[in-house]
Structure 1
Amino acid sequence: MDAIVLAGGYATRLWPITLDRPKMFLPLGEETIIDPIFESLEADERVDDVYISTNERFADEFETYLTESGYEKPTLSIEETTDEDEKFGVISALAQLVERENLSDDTIIVAGDNYLSFGVNDFIDSFRDHDAPMIAAYDVGSREKATSYGVIDVDDDQVVGFTEKPDNPSSSLVSIACYGFPAESIDLLETYLEEGNNPDEPGWFIQWLHERTATYAFTFDGAWFDIGTADSYLDAIEFMLDGEPYVADSATTENVTLDAGVQILEDATVQNADLSRTVVFPKASVTDCTLSETLVDRHASVSGVSLTESTVGAYSTLEGAD
């Protein structure tokens, strides 16, 4: 069995934090967003090879990550883009990867910016049991939220309806970016594109697929975070840390109040400050501040200000008026 980890986006909604780093490498405590996915795939003996679908801009960062991580299965498969405007669309990129790497086995596809409360191996168990195309499904709790996703109707785990980003969802059960395709279905990506269908969002492909072959849903409880904005990133941090702040051993803190969802990372300094739902990246400095819903990137210096829903770019200096 093969696996593809989708990591080709440019995360423009998180700029400048992700201007020169893949968002999959944003820290969650002592790990990054993508670590649990790689750990699960590395440990599963049914998975032979893991292909990281990324772009030319971030290829070097992934090469360094793989060298330092010690994982044996992942290899890079690089699409020839360096900017958001050059992207092929997710389905086009997948079809090109399948051809480029000559994939012909059962294949798991998972987005590297998903924070999942289940192990990918649990999904593989269900995929193998059904021996048919499978999608992971999560109840987002409201039909209003569901309008941003592919909405699923199921009957005894079989997908009987799928609508991508509907205005009036039939349920709050949505598809997340975790899919399983048997070997005989993987070529349908190219068939779908040859028919002139939407090359971008995977949901359009699933909507097309389930009408042609039996497709099943792996529905899970717990939590799922589609990390595409600062707010969703902070939500994932708060969940993962169970509401407690995280302070790296090498960080310096003095006279601080730290509420839920706070991360102070390696070699950062925070003094005389109140922080809530805030990340202070490595080697950043925060002094005499009140910060909420704020990201302070590496090597930035912030002093004498109150910030809410803000992002301070790397190597920036922000000082309050005297």
Structure 2
Amino acid sequence: MKAIILAGGKGTRLAPYTTILPKPLMPVDDRPILDIVIHQLVHYGIDEIILSVGYLAELLEAYYQDGSRFGIPISYVREPEPLGTAGPVALINQQHSLDETFLMMNGDVLTDFNYRHLIDYHNEKNGILTIAMHTKQQKIDLGVMHVNDKYELTDYIEKPTLDYQVSMGIYVFDPAVLKYIQPGVRLDFNELVLSLVKKHREPVFGYPCTDYWLDIGRHDDYEQATEVFMQHKAKFLGEE
């Protein structure tokens, strides 16, 4: 199975580090975060990786080269201009023929996720797209009021904790999705999902995940990722 890794963003929230390094090359302990991702994909049976690159693409290409030292073929697709988080798929299809089920993910997530379970789940559901999702909790430090249409109080909850499902930035696509992505047109992932569900009535599923997951988007996330990886390195690298 092919895996597309989105690695073209500027990582502006991690500036000034990302003024000289693309975010996927940011070191987590003794290796770039993208090294960890690639190691995991190889471990779970992915046999080809395509990096969608843009910002500082030459550094990623120089570091990963053809992928031989990772034991997997790695190729690159450069966006001529930013195409969003879903738009690059059409460009990649033109160069690599995505004619089978494929995985796509962000290149800056730290997780001990079992990718094989997600792929098997997608195949069982037989949908056009499966999104790995994680439960996040939000503590509300105020009293929350519930009212009816007449503003009559029906409930009052003091400082509740709310659960909600978020995308982990890891997806499995059926190739049928390609007919909904126009080559050369900017398209973000949320726009694609809403189009599939609301306009085209295509089956899209969420895969509930309880594994560790962290999106490395901010400075405090980066510090946390480094600390957690150092403590549980063997687990993240599939050596436990």
Tell me the TM-score normalised to structure 1 length. Answer: 0.58
Give the alignment partner of residue 204 of structure 1, picking from 187, 191, 214: 191
Q: How does 1:94-173 map to 2 (within 5 A)?
A: 94-132=89-127, 133-142=129-138, 172-173=164-165
Structure with greater strand share of residues: 1
Please give the secondary structure, in 2, of the residue aligned with 1:104.
coil
Q: Summarize the Cα distance change of 1:77–1:213 in structure 2 as closer, same or farther, 3 Å threshold.
A: same
Larger Rg: 1
Give the residue type in structure 1 aligned to 2:103: I
Q: Summarize the Cα distance change of 1:56–1:27 in structure 2 as closer, same or farther, 3 Å threshold.
A: closer
Give the alignment partner of residue 186 of structure 1, picking from 158, 163, 178: 178
Alpha-carbon separation, structure 2, partners of 1:126 and 1:100: 28
Residue 83 of structure 2 is matched in structure 1 by 88
Give the residue type in structure 2 aligned to 1:172: Y
Alpha-carbon separation, structure 2, partners of 1:103 and 1:19: 33
Alpha-carbon separation, structure 2, partners of 1:130 and 1:40: 24
Q: Summarize the Cα distance change of 1:56–1:114 in structure 2 as closer, same or farther, 3 Å threshold.
A: closer
Alpha-carbon separation, structure 2, partners of 1:118 and 1:56: 27
What are structure 2's unaligned runs of at least 5 residues?
A: 141-161, 233-240
Residue 12 of structure 2 is matched in structure 1 by 12
Alpha-carbon separation, structure 2, partners of 1:122 and 1:74: 23
Q: Summarize the Cα distance change of 1:98–1:185 in structure 2 as closer, same or farther, 3 Å threshold.
A: same
Q: How does 1:213-232 map to 2 (within 5 A)?
A: 213-232=202-221
Give the alignment partner of residue 167 of structure 2, picking from 169, 172, 175: 175
Query: Are the equivalent residues in 1 in contact too, given 2:64–2:74 (CA < 8 A)?
Result: no
Query: Are the equivalent residues in 2 in contact too, given 1:108–1:178 (CA < 8 A)?
Result: yes
Post-superposition shift, 1:200? 4.4
Post-superposition shift, 1:30? 2.7
Q: Summarize the Cα distance change of 1:31–1:94 in structure 2 as closer, same or farther, 3 Å threshold.
A: same
Residue 273 of structure 1 is matched in structure 2 by none
Residue 236 of structure 2 is matched in structure 1 by none
Alpha-carbon separation, structure 2, partners of 1:48 and 1:131: 22
What are structure 1's unaligned runs of at least 5 residues?
A: 82-86, 145-169, 194-198, 244-322
Identical aligned residues as a percent: 22
Query: Are the equivalent residues in 2 in contact too, given 1:91–1:202 (CA < 8 A)?
Result: yes
Residue 74 of structure 2 is matched in structure 1 by 74
Give the residue type in structure 2 aligned to 1:6: L
Post-superposition shift, 1:210? 2.6
Tell me the TM-score normalised to structure 2 length. Answer: 0.75
Q: Summarize the Cα distance change of 1:14–1:49 in structure 2 as closer, same or farther, 3 Å threshold.
A: same
Give the residue type in structure 1 aligned to 2:208: T
Post-superposition shift, 1:143? 7.6
Give the residue type in structure 1 aligned to 2:11: A
- Computed over aligned residues only, the root mean square deviation of the Cα atoms, in angstroms, reads 2.6
1:88-107 residue CA offsets vs partner (Å, 9 max, x unmatched):
32222222222233322111
Q: Summarize the Cα distance change of 1:131–1:63 in structure 2 as closer, same or farther, 3 Å threshold.
A: farther
1:71-127 residue CA offsets vs partner (Å, 9 max, x unmatched):
32221111125xxxxx23222222222223332211110100111231323322222
Query: Are the equivalent residues in 2 in contact too, given 1:59–1:78 (CA < 8 A)?
Result: no
Query: Are the equivalent residues in 2 in contact too, given 1:136–1:179 (CA < 8 A)?
Result: yes
Residue 233 of structure 1 is matched in structure 2 by 222
Post-superposition shift, 1:21? 1.2
Please give the secondary structure, in 1, of the residue aligned with 2:19.
coil
Residue 50 of structure 2 is matched in structure 1 by 51
Aligned residue-pair number? 207
Give the residue type in structure 2 aligned to 1:220: C
Please give the secondary structure, in 1, of the residue aligned with 2:77.
strand
Alpha-carbon separation, structure 1, partners of 2:164 and 2:227: 23
